[in-house]
């Protein structure tokens, strides 16, 4: 029988209160197997992606407050090393490699869960927000919600698919597009955006990438974007998109965490177009002309992360080599510096924190 030695303490990145600097705690306690509740599992992490959502949780600038003290992170990959006593019919076993997502747990029995909107469950637990997340060496998660990780994808590549990948995959899946349609991706060079470019290409869509900077331009075009628009240089983004597409884009998936990416979307979408709202600016509002929204039959849909099936599908596409995460590895102790890079908008692709790097 497989067994693992579980230490009593570990290294964790802690935010003591909203807006506080990251504190690296080398003596943070680890739950023992006996302390796990039924349905809980303990995962020894290989790595964790760092997401803009984690920055919002640390700053406390969302309408919903995160718990404090908080260990952030919700893109973890590692090995199941313990399962709570009296856990019935566990879909995972000791030694399995699994992923931890933003949605840590849900009841699975309410209407939202039954209809595949587990992320909207009123009893949902959120990794790195309402429960401690993956910026630590060992994390408590839940057997029914961890995602199995296929053998043919590395842990550090799988990490960012668990949130950034799942989120844009679901948004594109429900974007009411068909192969050959034009899709606009504001924030295309960022952590979510660069994956959206690839998932859109897998779906057969024609991608217009909107972002700024030479590094992001090079990345987006390399990944298959058909057109690039630098929002700092283009004087009329709406006219440019309408011209490129011959009448307007069929859909826009807005992943940027500010209100600007939303404001123009209704104007550059063609009649019957769909705006997928994904990025979560803390206090910005969605401003759109009601007249033009109605007159053009525009759909505006909020798309919030993804369910268990979305995660399995998104990981499978990446494991088959159709989507590649562009990332750089950093040690956990660099998390504060990573956050500064996010604030400045200087990170192209994704940062993954390697738990083996001290």
pLDDT, position 1:
67
Q: Give the pairing type, strands 97-100 and 103-105.
A: unpaired
Question: Cβ distance 332 to 130 under 8 Å?
Answer: no
11 phi, psi to nearest 5 deg? -95, 135
CA 224 to chain centre: 21
Structure tokens at 161: 């698919």
The CA–CA distances, whole Å, from 75 to 3, 18, 50, 81, 103 equal: 25, 21, 7, 18, 10
- DSSP for 242-273, written as a single string: HHHHTS-EEEEEE--SSTHHHHTHHHHEEEEE
Length in residues, the chain: 358
Count Cβ atoms below 10 Å from residue 86 Cβ, excluding itself: 9
Q: Which of 353, 357, 356 is nearest to 51 (CA)?
A: 353
For residue 184, report the phi and psi dihedrals to the nearest 5 degrees: -100, 135
How many Å apart are CA 103 and CA 144, to the nearest integer? Answer: 11
Q: Tokens 């909203």 belong to which residue? A: 18
What is the phi/psi pair of residue 246, to 5°? 70, 40
Question: pLDDT at position 45, please?
Answer: 98
Q: How confident is the model at residue 2, as a pLDDT?
A: 77
Q: Are 102 and 118 in contact (CB under 8 A)?
A: no
DSSP H helices, the chain, are 52-59, 111-114, 155-160, 166-173, 193-202, 214-223, 237-245, 260-263, 265-268, 290-295, 308-319, 335-343
Average pLDDT per 10 consecutive residues for the chain, totaling 358 residues = 90 94 96 97 97 90 90 97 96 97 97 96 97 98 97 94 95 98 93 93 97 92 97 95 98 82 88 92 80 93 95 97 92 94 79 87
Helix (H/G/I), strand (E/B), else coil: 240: helix
- For residue 330, the surrounding DSSP H or E stretch is strand 327-331
Given this model, what pLDDT does residue 257 score?
67
Measured from the Cβ of residue 136, the count of other Cβ atoms closer than 10 Å reads 25
Between the CA of residue 324 and those of 164, 191, 256, 305, what are the distances in Å?
A: 12, 12, 20, 19
Rounded to an integer, what is the distance from CA 271 to the centroid of its chain?
A: 30
DSSP notation for 87-144: --S-S--TT-EEEE-SEEE--S-SHHHHTT-GGG-TT-EEBTTTB--SSBSEEEEETT
């Amino acid at each position: 029988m497989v067994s693992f030695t579980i230490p009593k303490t570990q290294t964790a990145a802690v935010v003591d209160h909203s807006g506080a600097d990251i504190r690296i705690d080398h003596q943070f306690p680890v739950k023992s197997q006996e302390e796990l509740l039924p349905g809980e599992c303990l995962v020894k992490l290989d790595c964790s992606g760092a997401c803009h959502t984690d920055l919002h949780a640390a700053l406390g600038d969302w309408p919903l407050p995160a718990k404090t003290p908080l260990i952030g992170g919700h893109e973890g990959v590692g090995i199941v090393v313990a399962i709570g006593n009296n856990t019935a019919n566990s879909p995972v076993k000791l030694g399995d490699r699994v992923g931890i997502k933003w949605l840590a747990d849900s009841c699975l029995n309410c209407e939202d869960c039954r209809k595949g909107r587990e992320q909207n469950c009123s009893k949902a637990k959120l990794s790195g927000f309402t429960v401690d997340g993956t910026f630590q060496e060992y994390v408590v998660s839940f057997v029914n919600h961890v995602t199995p990780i296929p053998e043919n994808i590395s842990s550090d590549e799988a990490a960012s698919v668990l949130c950034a990948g799942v989120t844009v995959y679901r948004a594109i899946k429900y974007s009411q597009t068909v192969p050959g349609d034009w899709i606009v991706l504001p924030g295309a060079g960022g952590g979510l955006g660069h994956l959206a470019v690839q998932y859109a290409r897998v779906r057969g869509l024609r991608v217009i990438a909107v972002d700024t900077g030479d590094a992001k331009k090079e990345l987006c075009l390399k990944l298959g974007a058909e057109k690039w628009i630098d929002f700092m240089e283009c004087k009329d983004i709406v006219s440019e998109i309408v011209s490129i597409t011959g009448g307007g884009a069929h859909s826009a998936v807005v992943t940027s965490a500010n209100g600007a990416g939303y404001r123009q979307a209704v104007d550059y979408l063609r009649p019957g177009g769909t705006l997928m709202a994904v990025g979560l600016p803390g206090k910005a509002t969605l401003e759109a002309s009601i007249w033009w929204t109605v007159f053009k039959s525009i759909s505006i849909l909020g798309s919030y992360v993804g369910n268990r099936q979305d995660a399995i599908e998104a990981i499978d596409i990446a494991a088959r080599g159709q989507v590649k995460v562009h990332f750089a590895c950093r040690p956990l102790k660099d998390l504060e510096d990573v956050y500064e890079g996010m604030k400045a908008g200087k990170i192209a692709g994704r940062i993954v924190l390697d738990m083996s790097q001290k």
